[in-house]
Amino acid sequence: MHISVNVDGVTYADEVEPRLLLVHYLRERLGKTGTVVGCDTGNCGACTVHLDGHSIKSCSLFAVQANGREITTIEGLARDGKLHPVQQAFHSNHALQCGFCTPGMIMQAIDLLADEPDPDDETVRKGLEGNLCRCTGYQNIVRAVQDAAQRMKPGAGPEIEQRTPHAVGGE
């Protein structure tokens, strides 16, 4: 079946078998190996990407179901060589050891912060319920997400993003 999918800002048109999982499409067709497969059961969340702005597990979706839609992977977060604030917070807080769960953790953390801009410890843990880490015990991951929340507060971004909303748009 023919599909057209926008991944990390680039539109791809491809012929795929209906049974091809989105995660395999991303990794094997598009070479986006930043998104990883951790389990075969939909439990681990390592393959989390955003579909039209919401986190999903790309192992539980066929590529054909993403036809006409927009995907963001871990590879689409950095801008001009600069890490996304959540990536930077994971780095600064040592929120990973082996790093295998990290792409999914970061994608889910970004989703969580969109709904909960200033989450407490419990909210972070609930929000990351669908992502498993077998190394860290989650402590530094929770810390990183809360640190990222501070980094992403209005006014906390780089200068270009510090303008007040009404100043944007050139009225």
Q: Which residues bind another protein (CB under 8 A)?
A: 1, 17-19, 21, 24, 40-43, 45, 48, 51, 54-57, 59-62, 64-65, 108, 111-112, 127, 129-131
Q: CA 21, CA 23: separation in Å to the nearest integer?
A: 5
Q: How far is the CB of 77 from another protein (least distance, A)?
A: 17
Pairing label, strands 2-7, 10-15? antiparallel
Residue for token digits 């009225």? 171
Nearer to another protein, 77 or 109 (CB): 109
Residue 11 or 41: the one with the smaller Cβ distance to another protein is 41
Q: Return the beta strands (E) in the chain as ranges.
A: 2-7, 10-15, 48-51, 54-57, 70-72
Q: Minimal distance in Å, beta carbon 130 to another protein?
A: 3
Residue with Cβ nearer another protein (49 or 152): 49
Rounded to the nearest whole angstrom, what is the least distance from the CB of residue 35 to another protein in the complex?
Answer: 13
Report, in Å, the least distance between residue 113 CB and another protein. Answer: 12
Give whichever of 21 and 30 is closer to another protein, judged by the CB atom: 21
Which C-beta is closer to another protein: that of 41 or that of 164? 41
* Contact residues for 100 (Cβ-Cβ < 8 A; gap 6+): 36, 38, 46
Least distance to another protein, CB of residue 10, Å:
23
Pairing of strands 70-72, 10-15: unpaired
CB contact at 8 A, 77 and 13? no
